[in-house]
Amino acid sequence: MTTTATLADVPLDARAHVEVRLQGAVLLVVDQLCRVGAGDGLSGVLKRHRFLGDYLDAILPFVPPELGWADLHAWWLETVTQWELPAAGDLPLCRLGAAYGLDRVALTQLLVAGLVDEDSRFGGVFAELTGSSRRPTVESIVGITTLLFGTAGEPDAALARAIHDGILTAYGTQHPRSEWTVAPLPELWEVLRGRMPGGAASITARDALPGIDDLVTTEDFRQQCAQVGAAFADMDLVLVRGTAGSDRALVAQALAQTAGKGVLHVAAPHRPDLRATAELLGEASRLLPVAAALGAVTVVEIDPMPGESVRLDRGAYRGPMVVVMGHTGVVDGAGHRSKVTLDVPRLGSAGRAQRWRQALGGMSVVDLEGIAAASGLQGRHIDEVVRSAVSLASVRGEAVTLRHVRAASRDLDRRLLEDLAPRLDPAGDWSDVVVGDYTAVRLAELESRCRYRERVADALPSAYSSGTGVGVRALFTGPSGTGKTLAATVLGSRLGLGVHRLDLSAVVDKYIGETEKNLHRVLSAAEELDVVLLIDEGDALLGRRTEVRSANDRFANLETNFLLQRLEHYRGIVVVTTNAPDQVDAAFQRRMDVVVDFLAPSARERADIWRLHLPADHQVSAELVDELVQRCTMTGGQIRNAVLHAVVLALPTARPVSDCDVEQAVASEYQKAGAASPYDPSGRRHGVSHARVFREVVS
C-alpha cells in the first residue's frame, strides 16, 4: 500500500486536532487490548470490538507502508506533534498543556480518559481492560501510558497531578486508588472539542472586551493599568479593588484585552447558585483549566467581609488570575508568587458626567450634568440605570428623559436595598419641620455638609486629609415624636437622594456572624447607591458595649464593634436616631460629624405643628387650637396622630373636621398614653375657656 495522505492536508482546528490526537490514544488502547486480552492478537481484538476497525482504517492512509505495528504509535505521536506546532497557541489542548506544564504522558492520559465521552462504544473496551468498569480506571490509564512511555515518564505521578489540578476528575474515591474511575472535567472536554461550555461561566472573547483607553477613569490609574497589562503574562495574581458599583470588572476585562486574552468571569450575578465567597473562589479554581484551554483569563468577583481572609488555589496553573473585590478582606492562596493590587478610584462629578455620556451612547438627556453632580453612582451602576431607563422609555415609545433615569435609579435602589432597608419616599422641605432656631441651624449645617461633602474632603491639605472621607455621619437625638425621622426624609428630599430605613428586625439574625454580614451588605449598597441611610433606634445597634457576662453580651458587643469600624470608613450619608443618647456608645458619639438635638416643641411650635397638620378645609376654631396649644404639651407625633384620628371621625359624614372631632381625638390620644387629658372640653363648651379663666386669675 502506498501513502496517499499527509496530515498537512487536514485543516487544523480544535476539533480536528483533538480527533487526530484521539487516534493516537486509540492505537495505545488497541495495543493494550492485544497484550492483556484473550491472547488472540489484533484480529481477536477487532472481532470483539468491531468499531475499532473504523478507527484504524482512518489512520491507515497516513501511515508509511514500511512502518511496523510496534513503532506505529511513537511515529504517530511525532507526526502529530510536528503538524500541530505552528498553530499550538490557538489549539485548546496545546494551551492547556502550556498553562499546566503537561507533558506528552499527561496529555495522552487526558485523551485516553476522554475516549468514552467521545464514543460510548469504548465502554466495552474498558470493561474488558478493567474487568469491572466501563470507564477507564487509574490502573488502566497508567497501564496504557506505560506502554508507550515506559515508567520513566512517571505515568502514575502525572495522573495524580492531573487529578489534583482538576483537569481529570476521579470518581469512586472511597475505593482503593487503582480502582478510581477517571474522566476529564466536563466543561474542559467541551472546550477541547472546540465547543463552548454550557452555562457554567460567562465567557467573553477578546474582541468583545473594552481596552484600557475605553475606561473612564483618572490618567494616573489608566497608566497603572497599562503597566500591569503590559506585564500581565508574568503575573500570578492581580487584585482589582473597587466598590461593587464601580467599573472594577471592566478594569479586569481591559487588562485581559491588553494581554491579548478573553475572559472567563465567575461572579454572583451569573451564578445565583453560588453565594458564599468560598464557593465563588472554589468555582473559579475548578474552571481554571477551562480558562487555560480557552486562552482566557479567569476573573472572579467577590465581596469578602471586613477582616475576612479567603483562599484561592491555583494548583499547577501558570498564568495570571484576576480577583475583583471590594476594599475589605484579603486573598491569600498557595502558589501566588507575584501579587499586584489596583485600586479603582471613585469617579468625581466630572468623571461621572463622562461615564453617563458613555453609557448613554449617542442619546442625549437633558440635565445629565445635574444627575452626575447630585448622585454619586459609579460606572457599573450607571450602566445598569441607563439600560433600564432605555427599556422603560422604549416600552412607552418615548425618548429617554431625566424622568426615566430617575425611575430606573429608584428601581436599582429597591433591588439592592429593599429587603433589609426599605425606601421612605422623601418629600417636603425644612418649613415642614417645626423646630427651634438652634435645631434649625444644625439641620441647615448638616444639609450643607452633605451637599458639599466631596469638596470638603478635597479642601484640606493632604497631610490632614487622611480620614476625611466623603461620608457624613449624623446623630439625631430627642424624645419620640419630635420629628427626627421626618427631618431625615426632608434631608433626602432637599439633597435629591433616596432615603432608606434600616429594618432592624430583618438585619438582626440569630445566627452568629449573619447580622454583621447583613449590615455589611446594607451599608455597602447604601454607600454605593448614594442614598441617605436612616438607622432608627440606633441605641439598639450602637448601645454601650457591656461587660461580657454571657455569650449574648459578647455577640452584642461584636455587632457594635463591627458597626463602629464600618461607620468610621462609611462614604455615604447615614443618620442615626435615638431617644436615649446616653445609651449610645461614647466611641460612636465621638465619631459623629453632626449631632442634632430635637426638643419637645414649645407652645409656639405646637401651634405651627397643629396648623401644618390640619386639613386645608378644616373648621376647627382658632380658639380651640389656642387652647390645646396652651394646655396640652403634645409632641409633633401626638399632634399628627390626633389630627389623623379627627379626620377619621369626620370622614363617614363627609364633613370637614370640626372642634368636636379634634377634642375627642386629643382625649383618646391621652388615653392611649394612660393619662388624663389636661384639657376638659366640657368647660369650654359652657362658654368658659380655660385659657380665659387662667388669664383672669393671673391678671
Residues that bind Mg ion (CB under 5 A): 484-485, 536
Does position 689 interact with ligand ATP (CB under 6 A)? The reply is no
295 binds ligand ATP (CB under 6 A): no
Options 154, 187, 530, 536; binder of ligand ATP; rule CB under 6 A: 536
Nearer to Mg ion, 486 or 643 (CB): 486
| Residue of 262, 572, 636, 681 interacting with ligand ATP (CB under 6 A) | 636
**Could you say which of 91, 148, 371, 486 contacts ligand ATP (CB under 6 A)?**
486
Judged by beta carbon distances under 5 to 8 A according to partner kind, the member of Mg ion, ligand ATP, none in contact with residue 434 is ligand ATP
- Could you tell me the smallest distance in angstroms from the CB atom of residue 668 to Mg ion? 22
> Is 492 a binder of ligand ATP (CB under 6 A)?
no
* Cα(607)–Cα(620) distance, integer angstroms: 13
CA separation for the pair 41, 30 (Å, rounded): 10
Q: Would you count residue 579 as binding ligand ATP (CB under 6 A)?
A: yes
Nearest to 639 by CA among 672, 660, 666, 615: 666
Of 6, 120, 480, 583, which one interacts with ligand ATP (CB under 6 A)? Answer: 480
The C-alpha atoms of residue 484 and residue 577 are separated, in whole angstroms, by 7
CA distance 148 to 104: 10
Closest CA to 126 of 49, 39, 178, 53: 49
* Residue 409 near which of ligand ATP, Mg ion, none (CB within 5-8 Å, type-dependent): none
Closest residue to Mg ion in the complex (CB):
485
| CB 371, min distance to ligand ATP, A | 29
Only one residue has cell 461615564, namely 355
Closest CA to 498 of 507, 511, 485, 489: 489
Q: Does 637 bind ligand ATP (CB under 6 A)?
A: yes
**Which of Mg ion, ligand ATP, none binds 630 (CB below 5-8 Å, type-dependent)?**
none
Contacts of 382 (CB under 8 A, 6+ apart): 352, 355, 356, 359
DSSP letters along 1-49, please?
------GGGS---HHHHHHHHHHHHHHHHHHHHHHHSSS-HHHHHHHHS
Query: Closest separation between CB of residue 592 and ligand ATP, Å?
Result: 17
Contact 180, 142 (CB under 8 A): no
Instruction: Quote the CA–CA distance of 109 and 155 in Å, as a whole number.
Output: 8
Q: Could you tell me whether strands 262-266 and 202-204 are parallel, antiparallel, or unpaired per DSSP bridges?
A: antiparallel
Judge whether 189 and 114 are in contact, CB under 8 Å.
yes
Short-list 491, 493, 521, 526, CA closest to 506: 521
Of Mg ion, ligand ATP, none, which one sits near residue 609, judging by CB under 5 to 8 A according to partner kind? ligand ATP
Q: Report in angstroms how near the CB of residue 639 gets to ligand ATP at its nearest.
A: 7
| CA atoms lying within 13 Å on the CB side of residue 169 | 11
Query: Which of 185, 302, 382, 434 is the binder for ligand ATP (CB under 6 A)?
Result: 434
Which grid cell sits at 179? Answer: 480502582
Q: Which does 481 bind (CB under 5 to 8 A by kind): Mg ion, ligand ATP, none?
A: ligand ATP
Q: Which is nearer to Mg ion, 484 or 520 (CB)?
A: 484
Pick the closest to residue 129 from 113, 143, 115 (CA basis): 143
49 versus 484: smaller Cβ distance to Mg ion: 484
C-alpha cell at 528: 454605593
Residue nearest to ligand ATP (CB): 636
CB 423 to ligand ATP: min, Å: 16
Q: How many residues bind ligand ATP (CB under 6 A)?
A: 19
- End-to-end Cα spacing for the chain: 135
Subset of 374-393 contacting ligand ATP (CB under 6 A): none
Does position 640 bind ligand ATP by CB under 6 A? yes
Please say which residue, 302 or 575, places its beta carbon nearer to ligand ATP. 575
**Burial letters for 69-80: b for 16+ Cβ neighbours within 10 Å, e otherwise?**
eeebbebbbebb
Instruction: Verify binding: residue 151, ligand ATP, rule CB under 6 A.
Output: no
Q: Binding to ligand ATP by residue 602, rule CB under 6 A?
A: no
Please, what is the minimum distance in Å from the beta carbon of residue 433 to ligand ATP?
5
435 contact, one of Mg ion, ligand ATP, none, CB 5-8 Å limit per kind: ligand ATP
Distinct helix (H) and strand (E) counts, the chain: 33, 16
Residue 642 binding ligand ATP, by CB under 6 A? no
State the binding partner of 579 from Mg ion, ligand ATP, none, CB within 5 to 8 A by kind. ligand ATP
* Residue ranges that bind ligand ATP, judged by CB under 6 A: 433-435, 478, 480-486, 536, 577, 579, 598, 609, 636-637, 640
